[in-house]
C-alpha cells in the first residue's frame, strides 16, 4: 500500500507498565513516529532495549534510561507519558510540568481527571498551562474510559439528533481477566471485605475520575450542570473462585457498580456508569450488554431520535481487558501528530481535529 508522507515525529515513551508497553509497541509500529527515548523508573529496566521491554524481538537500539535531563536533551517532539499517576499525583504533575517546560509536547494517560482540563483544579491547570507557555508545548490526556468512551462516540451519535434529553455511557466489563491485582484490584476493592475502604469508593474519588467526562458532555451540548453526584454498590462472591485479580474468597467483593451523574433540572442527564463483575453471575439485576456479548460499552443517547450503541472490544488474544489497555494507549499514541500540530496549552478532545490510526 502506498501511504501519503507525513512529518515524522520524534517520541519518548515514559514508563513501560500495563499501558506503557502497549504504547511503546504502538509507537514502534506507527509509520509517522520515531522512537528516540524510553524512560524507566524500575532499576531493572534501565539499559534494556525498547523492543525487549514491550515483547518485540528485533532490537531498536533505543535503551531505557532514568536520566531525565539526558532524555529531555534529545529534543523530542512528544513524550507519551503512561506512568502511574493516581498513586503519585504530585510527582506526576512535577514530571509533566518539567517535560512540557522543556519544549516537548505530551500525550498522557495518567491522572484521568485531566481528560477534560476545565474539570481539574484551577491550581493544577495553572501549573500545566504555565509549563506549556514556558515550553511552547501542548498537553493532552485521554484513555479508553474515562476518555474515548465518553467523547467522540456519544458526540457523533448526537450530531444526528434534533433534541438530546440525556446521554449515558456505561462500561460493562468483566474484570476477572484484568492482570492488575496490585492497583485495579486494590483500588476497586475486589477480593476485599465489602466494608473495605476501597480508594475508588471514597467520597469524591469517583467524581474526580469520571466527572471530567460528564462535564465535557454537558459543555459540548452547551448545558449547565446543577451538580455532579456519585453513587456505588458492591456485591459479594457467592463462593471462592480464582481470577487474574487473585483469589476471591466467598463473601468478599466480586462486583462493583457505580455512577457519576451530571444533574440538570434535578435529573441525571449526563451519566458515566460502570458495572465491573469478576463473574457473569454476579449482579444478575445489574446492567449488561445484549445476549451473546460478554464485555464492553453501551452508549445511550435519548432524544429525537434516540440511539443505543454497544461496543465489544477484543484484543489480539481474544480478551476484552487486553483490548481496553491497548485502546487506552493507542488513543494517545494516535493523537501524537495532532497534538504536535496544536497551537499549545492544555487541551481536551474538543480542541483537536479528528484523528485515527495510521497502521494497516
Ligand atoms: N482512562 C483510561 O481508560 C485508563 C486506562 C488504564 C490506565 N489509565 C491510567 O494510566 C496510568 C498508567 O496505568 P498502568 O495500568 O499502565 O499503570 P501501572 O502498570 O501500574 O504503572 C505504570 C508505570 O508507572 C511507573 N511508576 C510506578 N511507580 C513510579 C514512581 N514512584 N515513579 C515513577 N514511575 C513510577 C512504572 O514505570 P516503569 O515502567 O518505568 O518502571 C510503571 O511501569 C494510570 O495513571 C492509570 O490511571 C487510564
Predicted confidence (pLDDT) per residue in 60-103, tens digit = 999 999 999 999 999 999 999 999 998 899 999 999 999 999 99
Alpha-carbon span 287 to 307, nearest angstrom: 17
Whether residues 164 and 302 fall in one domain? yes
Do 227 and 259 fall within a single domain? Answer: yes
Residue 358 counted as domain residue:
no
Would you say the CB of residue 92 lies under 6 angstroms from ligand 1? no
| Pocket flag, ligand 1, residue 326 (CB < 6 Å) | no
Q: Are residues 60 and 82 in the same domain?
A: yes
pLDDT category of residue 198 using cuts at 50, 70 and 90: very high
Q: How much of the chain exceeds pLDDT 70, in percent?
A: 99
147 lines ligand 1 (CB under 6 A): yes
pLDDT digits (tens, 9 = 90+) for 105-132: 999 999 999 999 999 999 999 999 999 9
Can you point out the beta strands (E) in 135-266? 138-141, 163-174, 227-236, 241-243, 246-248, 253-264
What pLDDT is recorded for position 2?
67
* Nearest protein CA to atom 46 of ligand 1, as residue: 110
- CA–CA gap between residue 360 and residue 156 (Å, rounded): 24
Number of domains in the chain: 2
* Conformation bin of residue 345: beta by default, left when phi > 0, alpha when psi is -120 to 50: left
CATH number at residue 16: 3.40.50.720
Cβ proximity of 82 and 23 under 8 Å: yes
Q: What is the CATH number of the domain that holds 164?
A: 3.30.360
Testing ligand 1's pocket by substitution, the residue of 82, 244, 296 carrying the most ligand atoms inside 8 A of its CB is 82
Spatial neighbors of 238 by CB under 8 A, at least 6 apart, are 250, 254, 281, 282
One domain, residues 33 and 96: yes
- Same domain, yes or no: 66 and 207: no
Closest CA to 26 of 68, 104, 80, 74: 80
Binning pLDDT at 50, 70 and 90, where does residue 359 land? low
In a domain, 319, yes or no: no
Mutating to test ligand 1, I would choose from 14, 83, 99 the residue with most ligand atoms within 8 A of its C-beta, which is: 83
Residues 174, 105 share a domain: no
Where does the pLDDT of residue 249 fall: very low under 50, low under 70, confident under 90, or very high at 90 and above?
very high
Q: Mark whether 203 and 307 lie in a shared domain.
A: yes
Q: Which atom of ligand 1 is nearest to the CA of 16?
A: 39
C-alpha–C-alpha distance, residues 173 and 283, integer Å: 12
1 in any annotated domain: no
Q: Is the CB of 183 under 6 A from ligand 1?
A: yes
Let me know whether 304 and 330 are in one domain: no
For CA atoms 248, 289, 214, 264, the dihedral sign is negative
Residue 20 lies in a domain: yes
Residue 24 placed within a domain:
yes
Ligand 1 pocket test, candidate residues 12, 16, 17, most atoms within 8 A of CB: 17
Are 101 and 186 in a shared domain? no
Q: Indicate the pLDDT class of residue 224, thresholds 50, 70 and 90.
A: very high
Is residue 188 within 8 A of residue 258, CB to CB? The reply is no
Containing structural domain, residue 154:
148-312
Nearest CA-CA partner of 274 in 90, 112, 157, 114: 112
Beta 9-14 vs 78-81: how paired, if at all? Answer: parallel
Amino acid at each position: 500500500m502506498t501511504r501519503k508522507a507525513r512529518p515524522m515525529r520524534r517520541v519518548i515513551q515514559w514508563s513501560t507498565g500495563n499501558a506503557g508497553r502497549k504504547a511503546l509497541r504502538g509507537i514502534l509500529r506507527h509509520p509517522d513516529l520515531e522512537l528516540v527515548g524510553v524512560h524507566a523508573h524500575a532499576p531493572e529496566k534501565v539499559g534494556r532495549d525498547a523492543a525487549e521491554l514491550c515483547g518485540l524481538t528485533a532490537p531498536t537500539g533505543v535503551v531505557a534510561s532514568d536520566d531525565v535531563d539526558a532524555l529531555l536533551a534529545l529534543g523530542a517532539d512528544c513524550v507519551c507519558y503512561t506512568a502511574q499517576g493516581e498513586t503519585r499525583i504530585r510527582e506526576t504533575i512535577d514530571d509533566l510540568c518539567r517535560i512540557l517546560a522543556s519544549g516537548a509536547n505530551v500525550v498522557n494517560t495518567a491522572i484521568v481527571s485531566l481528560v477534560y482540563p476545565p474539570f481539574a483544579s484551577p491550581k493544577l491547570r495553572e501549573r500545566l498551562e504555565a509549563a506549556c507557555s514556558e515550553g511552547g508545548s501542548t498537553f493532552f490526556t485521554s484513555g479508553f474510559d474515562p476518555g474515548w468512551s465518553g467523547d467522540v462516540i456519544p458526540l457523533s451519535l448526537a450530531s444526528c439528533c434534533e433534541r438530546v434529553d440525556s446521554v449515558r455511557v456505561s462500561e460493562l466489563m468483566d474484570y476477572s481477566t484484568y492482570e492488575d491485582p496490585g492497583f485495579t484490584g486494590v483500588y476497586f476493592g475486589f477480593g476485599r471485605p465489602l466494608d473495605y475502604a476501597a480508594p475508588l469508593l471514597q467520597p469524591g474519588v469517583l467524581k474526580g475520575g469520571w466527572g471530567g467526562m460528564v462535564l465535557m458532555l454537558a459543555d459540548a451540548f452547551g448545558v449547565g450542570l446543577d451538580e455532579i453526584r456519585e453513587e456505588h454498590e458492591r456485591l459479594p462472591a457467592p463462593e471462592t473462585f480464582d481470577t487474574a485479580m487473585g483469589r476471591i474468597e466467598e463473601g468478599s467483593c466480586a462486583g462493583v457498580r457505580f455512577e457519576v451523574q451530571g444533574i440538570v433540572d434535578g435529573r441525571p442527564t449526563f451519566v458515566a456508569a460502570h458495572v465491573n463483575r469478576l463473574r457473569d453471575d454476579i449482579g444478575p439485576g445489574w446492567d449488561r450488554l445484549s445476549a451473546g456479548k460478554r464485555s464492553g460499552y453501551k452508549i445511550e443517547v435519548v432524544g429525537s431520535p434516540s440511539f443505543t450503541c454497544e461496543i465489544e472490544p477484543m484484543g489480539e488474544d481474544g480478551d476484552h481487558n487486553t483490548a481496553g489497555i491497548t485502546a487506552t494507549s493507542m488513543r494517545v499514541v494516535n493523537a501524537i501528530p495532532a497534538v504536535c500540530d496544536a497551537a499549545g496549552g492544555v487541551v481536551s478532545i474538543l480542541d483537536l481535529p479528528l484523528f485515527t490510526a495510521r497502521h494497516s
